[in-house]
Structure 1
Amino acid sequence: MPIISNANHDFSNLSLSDDSSLDRIFTEIPETETIKGVYYKRAQLIRRPQDLLSVDHAALAVINVGGNRYTFPWTTLEQFPLTRLGRLRLCRSYEEIVQVCDDYDEAAREFFFDRSPSAFRVILNFLAAGKLRLLREMCALSLSDELAYWGVEMAYMERCCKRKMYTRMEEATEHERKEEERRRSKAQVFACLSVIMVVVTVVSLCISTMPDLREEEDRGECSQKCYHMFIVETVCVAWFSLEFLLRFLQARSKLAFARGPLNIIDAMAILPYYVSLLMEDEDEGSSSQHERPGGGKGYLDKLGLVLRIMRALRILYVMRLARHSLGLQTLGLTVRRSMREFGLLLLFLCVAVTLFSPLVHLAESELTPGAHDFSSIPASYWWAIISMTTVGYGDMVPRSLPGQVVALSSILSGILIMAFPATSIFHMFSRSYQELKQEHDRAFKEEERAAAEAAAMAAGDGLQEGEDGFPPSGNFYYSPNLTQESLTLLEPSKENQHTLPAGAF
């Protein structure tokens, strides 16, 4: 059936290929007629809206891509069953149609696709003449994404265009790999510095509790060693404060950031330093005035105690290691998910302690005169807890035979009670570790994809200026080790094989 054409598309001037097969198509057509043969007119661009009224929808499919209307004979789409357009023939309901295209006008029987019209010209040329070519004005990433969307295999691309595209993608892949290595190295350096700062802070906290430094602090003196410890603490707190501020500024939701458990711990570890500075200033002022509400020296002693407690909170910096350790993150997630099991464990311990404490008190205090360790039932709670958890400090030991029988029973009961929820907690830890590991891998892949898209935008801008900087597609991965021999193995799929009539060429 002849199809009226009002558009002759010659892609040879836009393609990287110098194949002149398309030129023969137009030269063989009589100049007096605009009627093309059915073997050539396999796709047509509708330029005027009134031309849409004369379309035979039983024989032609009307496709709207980015505002441009095209008509395709259904017989043409039959030859490409694996493409997105070919799948339209198999749709029998509106629900099936909208799963293939973006929208469908039932009255006009028009299929809508919200895709790039310029990229669709490559698909149009492929369906019309069987030539898949890389246009100079297109980015390789955009083209590969469009080919993946429309279901057209890269193997159909002309050999010269394919070689050019693979070459550019290999260059972009190598550039992205080097950029990713630099980015990961910077992140690793930052993480190492953060861990080093945590270790230095913990070590300085431990050194500050040495007797000689404590004596200097009690006398109100500050030697050279004390001054150096203060400098180290100041540097570490400055680093943590800067990191906390940067993470707060980069957070999308400030409220969610403030509610984060690790962020709360960071704030509790950082704030004591600044509070202690203010309290030291107040301490100096009170020493000069010698009068404060609450009574002179007693007030200063209380102030010094609060100051030491605030400084001891620096140990919370250890929790920052959870940001860089998958194992610590897994531990926290396991504890949060196993609250029910821990609650059952606590309930079992409370019941057992309540049972064995009166028994050991009765056996030691009532049946054995002169025993002072188990003077009351509340005093026996400590012994019951230590015994059931199999710690056994030895500060309270039953001497009588009945007391030893009670102790043996409590120890055996404690072993069984601790073993009941341990299996469930272990399995929860294993599942949490696998989930976190998969989440980290997924986040890493998303970062790689974002970096690839950023490189693609830069490469696309450079391509318009004639630069060779195509990034790899997110749907197609091209190995940097592709050789000329491997390119020859890329042939069209047999399931999507098309046979164009000889009259088309």
Structure 2
Amino acid sequence: MDTIKINLRGTVFTTSQRILQNYPDTKLASITHQCDNYITEKDEYFFDRNPSSFHNILDFYATGKIHISCTICAESFREELIFWGIPMKYISKCCWKAFYQLDEDMDVLENILMRLKCCHESPDGVDNSSSTRHRLRTRMWRLLTEVQSSTLAKVFHSFLALVMIVSVLVYALETLEEFRVDRHDDNKLDSNTSSVKLRRLWNTSPHHILIILDFVCNTILTLELALRMFTCPCLKSFWKSPLNIIDLVSCTGIWVCLSFGQAHTSLTYGPLWIISCVFGFLYSFRILRLLRLFRYNSGMQILYLSIKSSSRELCLLASAFACFVIIFAGFIYVAELEVDTFTDMFVSLWWSVITMTTVGYGDHFPTTGMGFVVGTACAIVGILLIALPVAVTSSNFHDFNMFNKYRIRHFLLSKQKTEEIRPCLKLSSSKVKPVDIDRHTAFM
């Protein structure tokens, strides 16, 4: 009789030695009475493994295909395959989704945990062996970067968000004529300058209240940036963040623009004005500071991660979109040869982009029958191309959102269990004698 018994934590399986030899390169096919797992008294092989998935392992030797039960964790089953030496190429096609979905889920979870922490670290967790300066620096860094670290951090970040909103509001109010006053100097542009907006910006200055608010807001944000630079553990990683670069550029642009405003009388409309326009562009970077409001918002983080995970599909969309833009631009240029609406290929490209995105400014449009046909086809193809990646992006967003809910639940449960255990630990530690502590420490 060629039957053998395999005991997995008390669950005994009986199978045929002949069936196991169908795949001689696997672990079960190579077991003999001389191996360490053989128990002579019971005439069986004992393995300290989970028996729940072993039915699927034995089915593989009988059928040549690996099937995964819906009640088995894919990661646990993968570890079982590695232990028994069974190649994953034998997994049946009907179980590919259940098995390889694990990789995608783990990628989603790793991305979430990299952006959003899953555990709560109390300030008491700071290493007491380090210097006082290092501890203060670490606490300051956590206060400036981790909004959930303490109540003070939440208050500080709320105040910082208010300052950024006020700064952007000041920037918007400075463009209104009602909030600008005439400059009391002779360095003004005359009416020959075509742009009314340009004359208003050069001949007038923001109201002094707006200037004071701008100065105060930028001072606060500059000090906050300097503190983050001073307390940052690694400056190289600090400057890899685009938001930190935006903060530096916007702070520099605002201070330079304020200096140019004070030196307006000594400037001439010429090269210096061009320089001031360049710094004025940097001045507008303060609007991008609003992106920092989304850094600590888990919902916006999930949206960012879902778009990032769909980058491959979005790149395919961009490539296909660019190809069809060029194709329809060439078609409309040829179809409208009899009229002067599309004077060159670049105008045709502009029309093709606007039509495929269904914006339709109306500055250029076909007027011939053939042009109408090309325009209709261009609009339909644009709708189809843009609609294709929506399903993929929304699916990724759903996956990230669900795993974020699991992360939040795990975080809350871990924090709750820690708060329940901590009083017990304090009570038990208070009852331990100093002598016992010394002995335990010496033993360790």
Using structure 1 for the length normalisation, give the TM-score: 0.47
Residue 324 of structure 1: aligned partner: 296
- What's the CA shift for 1:387? 0.9
Equivalent residues in 2 for 1:398-409, closer than 5 Å: 398-409=366-377
Indicate how the Cα distance of structure 1 residues 260 and 301 shifts in structure 2: closer, same or farther if over 3 A, else same: closer
Does residue 345 of structure 1 match 2:317? yes
**CA deviation string 1:81-113 (max 9, x = no partner):** xxxxxxxxxx999xxxxxxxxxxxxxxxxxxxx
Residue 428 of structure 1: aligned partner: 396
Letter aligned with residue 189 of structure 1 = V
Does residue 204 of structure 1 match 2:170? yes
Residue 259 of structure 1: aligned partner: 240
Indicate how the Cα distance of structure 1 residues 302 and 183 shifts in structure 2: closer, same or farther if over 3 A, else same: closer
Q: Secondary structure at the match of 1:421?
A: helix
User: 8 Å contact 1:198–1:318 — kept in the other structure?
Assistant: yes
Does residue 274 of structure 1 match 2:255? yes
Indicate how the Cα distance of structure 1 residues 304 and 249 shifts in structure 2: closer, same or farther if over 3 A, else same: closer
- What's the CA shift for 1:336? 2.4
Indicate how the Cα distance of structure 1 residues 452 and 346 shifts in structure 2: closer, same or farther if over 3 A, else same: same
Equivalent-residue separation in structure 1 for 2:423 and 2:163 (angstroms):
34
Q: Secondary structure at the match of 2:340?
A: coil
Indicate how the Cα distance of structure 1 residues 397 and 237 shifts in structure 2: closer, same or farther if over 3 A, else same: same
Does residue 226 of structure 1 match 2:192? no
- What's the CA shift for 1:426? 1.6
Of residues 277, 302, 305, the one that matches 1:305 is 277
Residue 143 of structure 2: aligned partner: none
User: 8 Å contact 1:279–1:307 — kept in the other structure?
Assistant: no
**CA deviation string 1:193-228 (max 9, x = no partner):** 233223222211111111344674745655xx6211
Equivalent-residue separation in structure 1 for 2:412 and 2:230 (angstroms):
22
Letter aligned with residue 193 of structure 1 = F
Indicate how the Cα distance of structure 1 residues 456 and 254 shifts in structure 2: closer, same or farther if over 3 A, else same: farther
User: 8 Å contact 2:250–2:284 — kept in the other structure?
Assistant: no
Of residues 342, 352, 360, the one that matches 1:392 is 360
Indicate how the Cα distance of structure 1 residues 442 and 257 shifts in structure 2: closer, same or farther if over 3 A, else same: farther
- What's the CA shift for 1:401? 1.3
User: 8 Å contact 1:266–1:320 — kept in the other structure?
Assistant: no
Q: Secondary structure at the match of 1:347?
A: helix
Equivalent residues in 2 for 1:8-407, closer than 5 Å: 185-213=151-179, 216=182, 218=201, 222=205, 226-280=207-261, 283=263, 287-288=265-266, 296-365=268-337, 369=338, 371-407=339-375
Letter aligned with residue 274 of structure 2 = K
Equivalent-residue separation in structure 1 for 2:412 and 2:361 (angstroms):
48
Q: Secondary structure at the match of 2:342?
A: coil
Percent identity between matched residues is: 26
User: 8 Å contact 2:181–2:207 — kept in the other structure?
Assistant: no
Say which is worse superposed, 311-320 or 197-206, in terms of deviation. 197-206
Residue 188 of structure 2: aligned partner: none
User: 8 Å contact 2:249–2:282 — kept in the other structure?
Assistant: no
Equivalent-residue separation in structure 1 for 2:402 and 2:211 (angstroms):
42
Letter aligned with residue 171 of structure 2 = L
User: 8 Å contact 2:180–2:204 — kept in the other structure?
Assistant: no
Q: Which has the higher contact order (CA 8 A, sep 6+)?
A: 1
What RMSD, in angstroms, separates the aligned Cα atoms of the two structures?
A: 3.7
Equivalent-residue separation in structure 2 for 1:330 and 1:449 (angstroms):
27
Indicate how the Cα distance of structure 1 residues 195 and 376 shifts in structure 2: closer, same or farther if over 3 A, else same: same
- What's the CA shift for 1:382? 1.0
Larger C-alpha radius of gyration, 1 or 2? 1
- What's the CA shift for 1:363? 1.4
Q: Secondary structure at the match of 1:234?
A: helix
Letter aligned with residue 257 of structure 2 = S
**CA deviation string 1:283-314 (max 9, x = no partner):** 45xx54x7xxxxx5312321331232122111
Letter aligned with residue 339 of structure 1 = S
Letter aligned with residue 336 of structure 1 = K
- What's the CA shift for 1:257? 2.4
Equivalent-residue separation in structure 2 for 1:330 and 1:463 (angstroms):
47
**CA deviation string 1:374-423 (max 9, x = no partner):** 11222111111111111112221211111111111111111111122221
Indicate how the Cα distance of structure 1 residues 414 and 92 shifts in structure 2: closer, same or farther if over 3 A, else same: closer
Equivalent-residue separation in structure 2 for 1:326 and 1:337 (angstroms):
16
Indicate how the Cα distance of structure 1 residues 431 and 194 shifts in structure 2: closer, same or farther if over 3 A, else same: farther
Of residues 368, 385, 392, the one that matches 1:417 is 385
Q: Secondary structure at the match of 2:250?
A: helix
Unaligned stretches of 5+ in structure 1?
1-90, 94-181, 291-295, 467-505
User: 8 Å contact 1:388–1:410 — kept in the other structure?
Assistant: yes
User: 8 Å contact 2:243–2:289 — kept in the other structure?
Assistant: no
Equivalent-residue separation in structure 2 for 1:239 and 1:385 (angstroms):
43
User: 8 Å contact 1:191–1:324 — kept in the other structure?
Assistant: no
Indicate how the Cα distance of structure 1 residues 248 and 194 shifts in structure 2: closer, same or farther if over 3 A, else same: same
Q: Secondary structure at the match of 1:390?
A: coil
Letter aligned with residue 364 of structure 1 = E
Using structure 2 for the length normalisation, give the TM-score: 0.53
- What's the CA shift for 1:456? 8.3
- What's the CA shift for 1:453? 9.2
- What's the CA shift for 1:443? 5.9
- What's the CA shift for 1:353? 1.0
- What's the CA shift for 1:250? 4.6
- What's the CA shift for 1:264? 2.9
- What's the CA shift for 1:254? 3.1
Indicate how the Cα distance of structure 1 residues 417 and 215 shifts in structure 2: closer, same or farther if over 3 A, else same: farther
Letter aligned with residue 408 of structure 1 = T
Letter aligned with residue 317 of structure 2 = L
